[in-house]
Structure 1
């Protein structure tokens, strides 16, 4: 029997437990550090898996840590293809089927929203898709919809 994860609802200053990760082929780290610092400044607990994270490790850590949110960041331009594979691996586990997962950054090599990438990733199972250049406002709005209480 599997139990679906339910995000913790923040009470007062208690934020979400957020797992931040890069994709298997992406060796960039500055984006992950930036996300970690920003989320911590907003009052969330962050576990940063770092760069070049194999799909299996991401799944294992999600099962082990039971985060409230997973944030996947891509800088190398392979976010669309790798993201589709990763969300499939996560959603294949009943216990992770309702876990909020977002992806952002450089998702392709030919510019923003090339051929409906954002819609395709949402249909694949991502709860939020934040293309490179969108800025943090959309991400903050997403966190607010989760009930994460992001300060202004």
Structure 2
């Protein structure tokens, strides 16, 4: 059954995948978490690998993320009760910096992190420094992720890091940065803990920073 779900998922067949998942949890009484861990996440892992290898593109990543999201919200989460879907690896606050309205890349990273087992608090786009700082104070996340697609707003990342330092919060959270405008050398220059060149790498970096196996 797990292989059938995985195969259908990788064909991006929404109706058939949902039918199989419903059959697994309703008729066969399979633990919904087992469906997530043994079918859905492995399928998304394949999507990530194919994306990394250039066999899949942005469209496939977005569609698979949407399919995963719908299965979780329509079938898995109602079975488990809100907030119990998946074994949480840690909490990530994520957002696109002030002055930047691009959200596709950030949304893909958020989806991939959720699939990997992280709780993700998405602050959206055009997020001012103070909102990032407030979120770190409020949620006490393990990781803060910031995205910048435009070179004109890249300094906003440094502003956030400086603000966290002045509030005495910098040492309480790991910072991962990414986006088209960001380079690994820039990440090191501003004192970020990690850099993700794409969604797959971002998940890998987050796991590594928390001492988790890939």
TM class, shorter-length = 0.7 to 0.9
Gaps of 5+ in 2: 1-85
Measured at CA, do residues 31 and 135 of structure 1 come closer, stay the same or move farther in structure 2, by a change above 3 Å? closer
Q: Where does residue 211 of structure 2 map in the other structure? A: 147
TM-score by length of 1: 0.73
CA deviation after TM superposition for structure 1 residue 104, in Å: 0.4
Quote the RMSD (CA, aligned, Å).
Answer: 2.2
Gaps of 5+ in 1: 1-11
Q: Deviations over 1:99-147 (max 9, x none)?
A: 1011101226xxxx5xxxx3343243210123xxx33454343223222
Asked if the contact 2:112–2:203 (Cα under 8 Å) also holds between the matched residues in 1, the reply is no
Please tell me whether Structure 1 or Structure 2 has the larger radius of gyration of its CA atoms.
2
Q: Which residues of 2 match residues 36-51 of structure 1 at below 5 A?
A: 36-51=110-125
TM-score by length of 2: 0.53
Residue 99 of structure 2 aligns to a residue whose secondary structure is coil
Asked if the contact 1:79–1:105 (Cα under 8 Å) also holds between the matched residues in 2, the reply is no
Distance 2:104 2:206 in 1: 21
Asked if the contact 2:195–2:205 (Cα under 8 Å) also holds between the matched residues in 1, the reply is no
CA deviation after TM superposition for structure 1 residue 70, in Å: 0.7
Instruction: State the structure with bigger RCO (CA 8 A, min sep 6), 1 or 2.
Output: 1
- Greater share of residues in strand: 1
Matching of residue 74 in structure 1 with residue 74 in structure 2: no
Q: How many residues align?
A: 128
Q: Where does residue 193 of structure 2 map in the other structure? A: 127
